Amino acid sequence: MLNQNNTFIQGFWRLDSWGFSSQELLKFIEQLIELKITTFDHADIYGGYICEEIFGNTLKLKPSIREQMQITTKCGIKLPSSKFPDYTHIYDTSYEHIIESVNRSLQNLATDYIDTLLIHRPDMLMNPEEIARAFNQLKNDGKVREFGVSNFLPHQLDLLQSYLEFPLVTNQIEASVLSHEHFDNGNINHLHKLRIRPQIWSPLAGGRVLNDTSDKSARVRKVLQEISDKHNADIEQIAIDWLLTHPLNFQIIIGSGKIERIRQTLMSQQIKLTRDDWFKIWTAYTGHDIP
């Protein structure tokens, strides 16, 4: 099941580009577990449908390590790839595709259950009855323990939830000092109302926190630097702690394959931003004072 005690989740969407051997990846996983990062985030499509398989081949070297981790994966997007050259880029949340995707993920990940399955993106043709039928079958078969969504807006989450007899456990959404969409559209407040702890992807805005040249990014980076100097931290740590300061207790998905950088990220938990700090960053993004 999803480890709700973890603040950080390790994402593996770039795993195919890290150049790890199976033994090196096993060592990396063991180091993560030592750091108490035990939830590992995947999706069927990552790496052109190969990242799950890379991870699963490593688990085969030490099957017992599976008991120390929680695996999240996602389905619902089709992408053309070398494995599926006939696919076109569409969303597919049909009963058949969900079942097929999960069975393939189980095989690729070398496991007989997935801790948490997410619908990857809202599907304009989503039939909540079909998703509920697939979820119920997967749960009853013991193949998936918990379910959630990714990139859903409040009305989309509520629609799916209304067809389920068990609660959705998370919604993966983008948020950062350079991405306020889900603060502004009511999604974070809605999740707070439902006591659903979101998982935050792209918490450093895909690197734009450090290297984007727009006026908005430059304003935010200037304030981040001032605050980081005050706290004797780096800009990335301040940007992460800005998210951690929120009372909903976000879970942060880390995308790095470098263990030292991950250790540095974890140190952001030791920083305690003041409200003044937090709102300085907020207003640097908006470019104007709060009302």
List beta partners, residue 116. 72, 146
Residue 212 forms part of a structural domain? no
Sequence-separated (6 or more) residues with CB below 8 Å from residue 215: none
Residue 273 forms part of a structural domain? no
Predicted confidence at residue 6, as pLDDT, reads 85
Model confidence at 2: pLDDT above 70:
no
253 closest CA partner among 15, 14, 41: 41
Model confidence at 5: pLDDT above 70:
no
Predicted confidence at residue 276, as pLDDT, reads 97
Residue 264 forms part of a structural domain? no
Residue 39 forms part of a structural domain? yes
What is the count of structural domains for the chain?
1
Residue 260 forms part of a structural domain? no
Considering the entire predicted model, what is its pTM? 0.96
Chain segment 14-58, per-residue pLDDT in tens: 999 999 999 999 999 999 999 999 999 999 999 999 999 999 999
Q: What is the DSSP letter of 87?
A: -
Chain segment 137-185, per-residue pLDDT in tens: 999 999 999 999 999 999 999 999 999 999 999 999 999 999 999 999 9
Residues noted as catalytic: 46
List beta partners, residue 78. 90
Indicate the length of the chain as a whole number: 291
Rounded CA gap, 209 and 216, in Å? 10
3-state SS string for 102-167: HHHHHHHCCCCCEEEEEECCCCCCCCHHHHHHHHHHHHHCCCEEEEEEECCCHHHHHHHHCCCCCC
Indicate the SS3 state at residue 286.
helix
- The pLDDT-based confidence of 1 (bands split at 50, 70, 90) is low
Residue 151 forms part of a structural domain? yes
Predicted confidence at residue 4, as pLDDT, reads 65
Chain segment 117-139, per-residue pLDDT in tens: 999 999 999 999 999 999 999 99
% of the chain at pLDDT higher than 90: 98
Listing DSSP states for 193-205 in one string gives: HTT---EEE-TTG
Residue 43 forms part of a structural domain? yes
Chain segment 223-259, per-residue pLDDT in tens: 999 999 999 999 999 999 999 999 999 999 999 999 9
Residue 123 forms part of a structural domain? yes
Indicate the SS3 state at residue 176.
strand
Predicted confidence at residue 266, as pLDDT, reads 97
Domain that holds residue 139: 8-169
Q: How far is CA 227 from the centre of its chain?
A: 26
Domain at 106, CATH number: 3.20.20.100
